[in-house]
Amino acid sequence: MYRLPQDKRENVAARLSANAREIRQEAAALGIDNFSLWRVADLLCGYGEWASEDAPAELPASMEAAVGADGELLCAPGTMRLMYHDIGVVREDKSLIRHRVFVTRLKPGCEAEYKRRHDGLIEARGDTVSEGPDSNFTIWYGAGYIFGYCEKVKAFDREMTEAERAATIAWETRQLEIMNWLTDDVDWITGESHEAIRRVV
């Protein structure tokens, strides 16, 4: 995760997009699968799946060159804490999914409470493995920020029921006690306006 100064964000994003193919190839050579980079506000967030937990926490050199001195590194690979997981059935064919990627900032001292609430979701789920709609869903914490990566299975797309809508509003309203959104995920609840996260690689 990097922080980008306001006057450099678009230039960095353009350099990354221009070198996207090379960056993905280098990531694969480093043993990083399913690699992507996402930008919102002043943050550049990366997602990747290392084939082994013992893999070196290297980043593609062409990515680091594209960011250059314009980005302040907040979290190096392997330093963010896993806060939640719901892997489910991962679709290898990524044409079958759409991404939900989000970023929030935790309020001071709220890391343990965020983890406690999400541990409750894992406990309630038990040993069940879901076919969808969420797939390959993990949430990470570092430098005060929450970064969530989820692959939503398109075959499960539908409108929320009234009960689901009410439950979502109740959950997200409680979450506002401990965090602030940087992406636009709950603008429909709060009436606020945030950026949509944008994939750059």
Residue 131 identity (one-letter amino acid):
E
Q: What pLDDT does 139 receive?
A: 98
Q: What pLDDT does 119 receive?
A: 97
Mean pLDDT of all residues in 164-193 = 98
Confidence of residue 78 (pLDDT cuts 50, 70, 90): confident
Give pLDDT tens digits for 142-173.
999 999 999 999 999 999 999 999 999 999 99
Q: What pLDDT does 24 receive?
A: 95
Residue 134: is it exposed, middle or buried by C-beta count within 10 angstroms (0-12/13-18/19+)?
middle
Q: What is the DSSP string of 135-170?
A: EEEEEEEETTEEEEEEEEEGGG--PPPHHHHHHHHH
Confidence of residue 59 (pLDDT cuts 50, 70, 90): confident
Residue 88 and residue 35: Cα distance in Å, rounded? 19
Residue 4 vs residues 8, 70, 147, 183, 189: alpha-carbon distances, Å: 6, 6, 16, 16, 28
Domain ranges for the chain, please list them: 2-199
Asked whether residue 9 carries a pLDDT value surpassing 70, the answer given is yes
Give pLDDT tens digits for 108-139.
999 999 999 999 999 999 988 999 999 999 99
Enter the DSSP assignment of 31.
T
Asked whether residue 182 carries a pLDDT value surpassing 90, the answer given is yes
Q: What pLDDT does 55 receive?
A: 60
Asked whether residue 93 carries a pLDDT value surpassing 80, the answer given is yes
- Give the percent of the chain with pLDDT over 70: 98
Mean pLDDT of all residues in 42-61 = 83
